[in-house]
Amino acid sequence: MKSALKLVLIYFLLSQVAGLLVAMPYVMARGVIIGDMNLAISEITVPSLLCGLILAMIYLWRKNYLKSIHVDKSVVTIKYVALSTLMLLSSMWIISMAMSKMTWIPNLLEQSFEQIISSWVGIALVAVIGPIVEEYAFRGAITRVLLEKYSPTKAILISAAIFGLFHINPAQVVPAFFMGIILAWVYFRTASLIPVIIMHIINNSISVWLMYKYPDVKEVNELIDPSMQIVITIVAAAVLVGVYFLMKKVKVDYNWKTDEVEEQLVLVNENELNQ
């Protein structure tokens, strides 16, 4: 648990705090060039986010978390990716229906997101680059560390809770928690980041499209006639259950405790050499 929390803290500091500090000189220089420092500071969100994601990826690379897990047989086929996409879409609808009933939850970062997606760079960061970096951090590093220490169920739930709380914004915490369960489960079943990266990109891309195309719409179910929402929810639940059992039939035979055992052997060998 300590290792996972340490990774979360480091990722937060790099992606949020350090990114802001690194981007500040650029913002100050831009303020001098355009002659409007207030305008330049108001535009700091995108460059700070970009710098933060770059710093996070550098850290993950330096700590060897970007290295893929090698397994004998890959289950990441077109069919599996299609099933995981169906799982994502059905889950998104169900979560949307649930969140539409929780109108009391505040969305504190709504204006920040609107500012970010006002540029193509911001859209790319939220829809593509961000999901890739987050999957390497939260599934490839944090979930992986938890799977080495705990049972799959416990590791998945803890990683999902961390993923949800990391988003800070109350309106995102609950959806991120449930989405974190799905992403961590798929990662556990496949030992691959490919399907979860694709799922995350699709999820964020749809969210960006909704915010851009329908700025007044809070949840996707608002675009559907109320008389059809219950029907779609039943269908989505059936699809989710069906896809779950189909995907459950396939699992990479990978021992998540392997890395922990290898690390212990390395430490033992080092101690023996030092004696």
Closest of 129, 121, 107, 100 to residue 204, by C-alpha = 129
- Alpha helix (H) residue ranges in the chain: 2-12, 19-34, 37-42, 45-62, 78-100, 110-116, 120-124, 130-134, 144-149, 152-166, 170-190, 194-213, 226-248, 258-274
* pLDDT number for residue 13: 87
* pLDDT number for residue 39: 66
Residue-wise pLDDT for 46-105, tens only, equals 888 889 999 999 999 988 888 877 776 677 788 889 999 999 999 999 999 998 888 888
Residue-wise pLDDT for 189-242, tens only, equals 988 899 999 999 999 999 999 888 888 878 888 888 888 999 999 999 999 999
Residue length of the chain: 275
Query: Comparing 12 with 74, which gets the higher pLDDT?
Result: 12
Residue-wise pLDDT for 233-275, tens only, equals 999 999 999 999 999 887 787 888 765 444 443 443 444 445 4
Query: Comparing 214 with 145, which gets the higher pLDDT?
Result: 145
Give the whole-angstrom CA distance, residue 271 versus residue 275.
6
Give the whole-angstrom CA distance, residue 235 versus residue 75.
26
Residue spans of the domains in the chain: they are 1-67, 69-274
| Six token digits for residue 135 | 């999957």
Across residues 100-118, what is the average pLDDT? 82
**DSSP label at 43?**
T
Closest of 205, 8, 45 to residue 123, by C-alpha = 205
pLDDT band at 138 (very low <50, low <70, confident <90, very high): very high
Single-letter amino acid code for the residue at 252: V
pLDDT band at 168 (very low <50, low <70, confident <90, very high): confident
Report CA-CA distances (Å) from 24 to 18, 50, 51.
10, 12, 10
| Six token digits for residue 205 | 């891309």
* pLDDT number for residue 46: 84
Residue 106, Cβ density class (10 Å: 0-12 exposed, 13-18 middle, ≥19 buried): exposed
Give the whole-angstrom CA distance, residue 81 versus residue 55.
29
Cα–chain center distance at 166: 10
| Six token digits for residue 68 | 């893929």
Closest of 183, 209, 207 to residue 196, by C-alpha = 183
End-to-end CA distance of the chain: 31
Report CA-CA distances (Å) from 122 to 14, 28, 266.
18, 19, 43
DSSP 66-119: TSPPP-SS----HHHHHHHHHHHHHHHHHHHHHHHT-TTS--TTHHHHHHHTTS
Q: Quick one: residue 165, left, alpha or beta (phi over 0 = left, psi -120 to 50 = alpha)?
A: alpha
